[in-house]
Amino acid sequence: MNLISSESKEIKAPPAAVWAVISDIGNAAAVISAIKDIEVLEPGNDGGIVGLKWKETREWMGRDAVEVMWVTDADELSFYETRAESHGCIYKSRLELAPMPTGTRLAMTFYCQPQTVGARLMWLLTGWMARKSLCKAIAQDLEDIKVAVENSW
């Protein structure tokens, strides 16, 4: 699994306020500026977030990118992990909350694992570009979340 990026942001609000925003995936398009649309495909198991599956349309490198994603693991107020599979790769991300005296540190980590020969070749040729774009996208997503949480809390 190739680590692409790991970024974090301090948010001046308690973990519960941050969790309320990041776990409301159905409304993510109202929070994250790059997301154009969210379509929930399956609810989480037993009313929780694990198992939640959605189709996300976001602006990526000047184009619309559509991915089906799902939550694979979570611990309320602590973290959740997602997975997507497309273009011959497995993509995993983790949003993790850490309480701080001034609020919460929200960290996002993103991994890519090429599965096919074509995906491995593309990773070798263009992985540096993808990494640079993803670092910017993750930083902007975290900033958007910070603004939404701090404005609502």
CATH topology of domain 2-152: Alpha-D-Glucose-1,6-Bisphosphate; Chain A, domain 4 (3.30.530)
In the prediction, which pLDDT does 3 show? 64
CA distance 138 to 121: 24
**pLDDT tens, the chain, 153 aa long:** 676 789 999 999 999 999 999 999 999 999 999 999 999 999 999 889 999 999 999 988 788 999 999 999 999 999 999 999 998 999 999 999 999 999 999 999 999 899 999 888 887 787 777 788 888 999 999 999 999 999 998
Contacts 24+ apart (CB under 8 A), 124-133: 127/2, 130/4, 131/4, 131/5, 133/60, 133/61
Question: Closest by alpha carbon to 91, among 24, 1, 26, 8?
Answer: 1
Whole-number pLDDT of residue 131: 80
pLDDT recorded at residue 133: 85
| pLDDT in the model for residue 147 | 98
